[in-house]
Structure 1
Amino acid sequence: MSKKTVELSFPKLVLIIATTVFSFTSMSNAFYLMSYAAMPWYIVAGLLFFVPYALIVSEFTGNLGQYSGGLYSWIDHSLSQKAAFLTTFLWYSSYTIWLASLFMKLWIPLSILSFGQDLTTRTASFWHIPQIYWLGLGSCILVLIVVFLINKGFFTISRFMLLGGSLIALLFVVMAVSNLILLVNHHGQLSQPMQQHILLNSPNRDYQGLLGNLGFFIFGITAFGGLDTVASLVDRVGHNKRRFPFAILIAAILITVTYLAGIFLWGASANWAAIFTNQKVSLGNAMYFLMFNLGHQLGGVLGLSSAGTLILSQIFLRLTGLVLFWAYIGLIMTIAYAPLKSIITGTPKNFWPHFLTKENKQGIASHAVLGQGLLIIGLIWLVVFSNAHAVNLYNNLTLMTNVSRSIPYLIVAIAFIQFRKQQHDYQLIAPRYANLASGLVITTILSAISFSIILPLFKAHYLESMLLLIGPMIFSIIAVILYHHFNRQIELS
């Protein structure tokens, strides 16, 4: 993939980085899981993981931004080529399996936008064909559309990233302003009372006690994930790659503040017990309940009639569906391109078969993009067009990627220790704090991985715990086999 760049203004660059990492869904789910008790854990996750990791990524992009390999190049220059390939393959594998899930989830916000409710779980049939098959077919068509759009080049990808990011920013502004109006109208009184004990104890019974809080700590860390993905695109942003590290830091501050502000502001319109005792609420739809309720509360404050209030609630609900649909598209475009770009362009020349690395006029390895698309379609067929056993297999594959997605953060932090032993022009972290930054990230990720594996054991979910552990081992073995095979091919040629 040649370096076809796109000149992005600094504000657009910050917007893309911030909205790629920030998740409106994670913010809403945090309030659903913990209410205000989520805030201290987000602060801890931000200070111990996200801020030091953002500093580390900033230094890598500031010194190695000219390389196309992104995460691969960072580890290759710091540790070894083998470590770089193994890490990037784990990273790529987990995102590819997640992509199949995202294509299936894409229909939920589209259903909310079109019908005001999620119809994707219904067992209806059309032309005597079950609805799940139509959803699967539609998902496969979407995969091919995304393949086509990626092959149009990074300019097209960046447009979708900007559109998704802009809409997410708009949705947050709507949510924040509406809640502030309610807060002012109620003379500062929150629907969910702010009390000292609620900052330390979740009203959700599943997230109380040591195990519950540790479970949410893992959730808090994952809410800050994705920075390495967007940072891998630094070589494609034209002259602004020099300001990319600074953009990462500005985005990191914005993300952290936005998460905390959003969790607090939900309390202006939503009383936790009144909304979330509804058994229909889940992690998949909590934000829709919150936005519908926000419209209902705002309609009452504005003096609208019952019909007018219902219309406003539906507008808020469907706006959320619209934004989440395009946000998913932007996210899909990013993670379908960035990890593949890193693993293709970071590796040495002739490492992969020539047909996989051959570029089109837009500088995209179109055959590799198509191959990835066909792999994702295969995973979708596995889920939709097979029996329950295949569905369980896919769920198990997803479990296997959960830890695999965290390991690259760990390796990047370890690589940074070695990287700082070299002489570099761009040093954002003072020498005495460089190892501290790496140590914080390493400790946090190791703790999160350990908790992820151990916590299911307390619930007697032994298979889940085993899959979390086996997943990285299997992907690592595949990566080592591929690495030695392609290296042997290079030696023979």
Structure 2
Amino acid sequence: SWIIWMMSTASKVWIPFATTLFGHDTTQTWSFFGLSSTKTIGLLAIFWIITVTWFAVRGMDSISKISSVGGIFVSLLTVIFAIASITILILNGGHLAQPVTGMHSFIQSPNPDFQSPIALVSFMVYAVFAYAGTETLGGVTDNMEQPEKTFPRGLIISTLVITVMYSLSIFLWGITANWHSVLGNGHVNLGNITYVLMANLGVVLGQSLHLSAATSTILGTSFARFAGLSMFMAYMGSFFVLIYSPLKSFIMGSNPKFWPEKMTKLNKKGMPGFAMWTQAVIVAVLIFFVTFGGSSAKQFYVILTNMGNISTSFPYIFLVAAFPFFKRKKGLERPFEIYTKQWMTDTISIIVLIVLIGGIGFTAIEPILQHDYVNAFWTIIGPIFFGLVAWAFLTYQSHKLKKQANK
């Protein structure tokens, strides 16, 4: 999943970069050597991967500290968004840009891509992605006081907070943004939607304060630039960490005999240089094939988002499916348990599996039904490709180790 994340982020990072410089997303007009904007972004993404890898291999990872500054800016961005939205709601007498005309306004999306039942079910993968990563908190339970009480309570509270904040954020965006007038045009995609919304927020705030049209536009541009700068710093800092941290943990945390000697060898800076360059080549090749596959800018960012969502959600299927069998094992030390009844464990596991498999399955099926075969191919190929590579590598290395043991 971190490979797909790097592939996606290396492509998306240029949007906040452009927004910071120009006040809006200009990447859809970029062109090198007569290439389309999507292919141009692909080349820039490959350049980004190679450049970051070059610096990281040499131990120049201090740039990762900028992610903390970016995190502060993103937090400020959230505060600005909330305060500005509530202010606009009050100044406009409770009027919403995206009107609520009944219960169907909360059930039926204005987005034409999510009108069918299958598309709605596929959206569950987006919902699952919102909670992705919370399971890693299990690794810090040994540092908690009374983890049997603190850990489940913390998970429940964080889940509720995430749910409420996501729902509230969607409602707040409806105060200033009407789907058809702001988002329903061909220039808005999943890569630049944040900056389009922030620019619109600034303009509407200026209009609500009865500022001039020029001043309102400047305010909108300022909001967009601030959002672009915040996200660019956050992307850049996190990229310098994720370019080596997961790979280093993955390789160094496993049996060194399982890997070719070059993959486990650390350079003078303590970095797995060969492994990092191998990773860079894989990411660059994937970016090349996706961007030069003939997709439009809008389709390109949908592909990246779907690939990221599925690659993150797919491993949970194995984790959830294994949980009931883990619970049945006897003789294991369990410091604390949340599910003490086996029937409860089985029931919850089945429900979660249905949601996961249904969401992932319909995410893969929906573009096929829409005859969007490019999107369907890249959405499905990720788990299949990496699964086959892992299986082939496991078979080869197991055979190699067995052969060495018999000598």
Q: Same fold (TM over 0.5)?
A: yes
Q: Give the conservation status (yes or no) of the 8 Å contact 1:201–1:208.
A: yes
Report the aligned-residue RMSD.
4.0
Q: Give the conservation status (yes or no) of the 8 Å contact 1:295–1:314.
A: yes
Q: 1:437 to 1:341 in 2, by over 3 A?
A: farther
Q: Give the conservation status (yes or no) of the 8 Å contact 1:100–1:380.
A: yes
Q: Does 1:477 align with 2:388?
A: yes
Query: Residue 165 of structure 1 aligns with which residue?
Result: 71
**Partners of 1:157 and 1:426 in 2: CA distance:** 40
Q: Give the conservation status (yes or no) of the 8 Å contact 1:116–1:318.
A: yes
**Partners of 1:328 and 1:238 in 2: CA distance:** 31
Query: Residue 97 of structure 2 aligns with which residue?
Result: 191
Query: Residue 417 of structure 1 aligns with which residue?
Result: 324
Q: 1:192 to 1:161 in 2, by over 3 A?
A: same
* 1:69-124: CA deviation from partner (whole Å, max 9, x where unpaired): xxxxxxxxxxxxxxxxxxxxxx4xxx424423321221111011101232223254
Query: Residue 431 of structure 1 aligns with which residue?
Result: 340
Q: 1:454 pairs with 365, 368, 371, which one?
A: 365
Q: What does 1:271-310 align with in structure 2 at a 5 Å threshold?
A: 271-310=178-217
Q: Give the conservation status (yes or no) of the 8 Å contact 1:402–1:468.
A: no
Q: Find the residue that maps to 2:118 and give its secondary structure.
A: helix
Q: What does 1:331-410 align with in structure 2 at a 5 Å threshold?
A: 331-333=238-240, 335-337=242-244, 339-359=246-266, 364-380=271-287, 403-410=310-317
Q: 1:340 to 1:157 in 2, by over 3 A?
A: farther
Query: Residue 108 of structure 2 aligns with which residue?
Result: 201
Q: 1:277 to 1:474 in 2, by over 3 A?
A: closer
Q: What does 1:45-444 align with in structure 2 at a 5 Å threshold?
A: 91=1, 95-122=2-29, 124=31, 138-147=44-53, 150=56, 156=62, 159-194=65-100, 195-227=102-134, 234=139, 251-333=158-240, 335-337=242-244, 339-359=246-266, 364-380=271-287, 403-422=310-329, 423-432=332-341, 433-444=344-355
- Aligned-pair CA distance for 1:380: 4.3
* 1:173-223: CA deviation from partner (whole Å, max 9, x where unpaired): 111111111122234343333332311222333322423422433433334
Higher RCO, 1 vs 2 (CA within 8 Å, ≥6 residues apart)? 1
Q: Tell which deviates more after alignment, 251-260 or 360-369.
A: 360-369
**Partners of 1:165 and 1:272 in 2: CA distance:** 28
% identical equivalent positions: 30
Q: Give the conservation status (yes or no) of the 8 Å contact 2:58–2:269.
A: yes
Query: Residue 486 of structure 1 aligns with which residue?
Result: 397
Q: TM-score, normalised by structure 2?
A: 0.78
Q: Give the conservation status (yes or no) of the 8 Å contact 1:157–1:333.
A: yes
**Partners of 1:323 and 1:396 in 2: CA distance:** 22
Question: Given residue 143 of structure 1, which amino acid in structure 2 is its aligned partner?
Answer: I
* 1:341-394: CA deviation from partner (whole Å, max 9, x where unpaired): 45313422311123312335775434322321233234445567x7859x9xx9
- Aligned-pair CA distance for 1:395: 10
Question: Given residue 363 of structure 2, which amino acid in structure 1 is its aligned partner?
Answer: S
**Partners of 2:307 and 2:99 in 1: CA distance:** 40
> How many equivalent residue pairs?
391
**Partners of 1:403 and 1:137 in 2: CA distance:** 24
Q: Find the residue that maps to 1:420 and give its secondary structure.
A: helix
Structure 2: tracts of 5 or more residues without a match: none
Q: 1:462 to 1:272 in 2, by over 3 A?
A: closer
**Partners of 2:151 and 2:64 in 1: CA distance:** 18
**Partners of 1:102 and 1:266 in 2: CA distance:** 24
Query: Residue 83 of structure 1 aligns with which residue?
Result: none
- Aligned-pair CA distance for 1:162: 3.2
**Partners of 1:135 and 1:279 in 2: CA distance:** 18
Q: Find the residue that maps to 1:193 and give its secondary structure.
A: coil
- Aligned-pair CA distance for 1:254: 3.3
Q: Give the conservation status (yes or no) of the 8 Å contact 2:368–2:376.
A: yes
- Aligned-pair CA distance for 1:465: 4.8
Q: Find the residue that maps to 2:256 and give its secondary structure.
A: coil
Structure 1: tracts of 5 or more residues without a match: 1-90
**Partners of 1:208 and 1:388 in 2: CA distance:** 26
Q: Give the conservation status (yes or no) of the 8 Å contact 1:150–1:156.
A: no
**Partners of 1:454 and 1:193 in 2: CA distance:** 31
Q: Give the conservation status (yes or no) of the 8 Å contact 1:149–1:156.
A: no
- Aligned-pair CA distance for 1:444: 0.9
**Partners of 2:359 and 2:276 in 1: CA distance:** 32
Question: Given residue 295 of structure 1, which amino acid in structure 2 is its aligned partner?
Answer: G
**Partners of 2:378 and 2:74 in 1: CA distance:** 34
Q: Give the conservation status (yes or no) of the 8 Å contact 1:102–1:328.
A: yes
Query: Residue 9 of structure 1 aligns with which residue?
Result: none
Q: TM-score, normalised by structure 1?
A: 0.66
**Partners of 1:298 and 1:395 in 2: CA distance:** 29
Q: Give the conservation status (yes or no) of the 8 Å contact 1:296–1:310.
A: yes
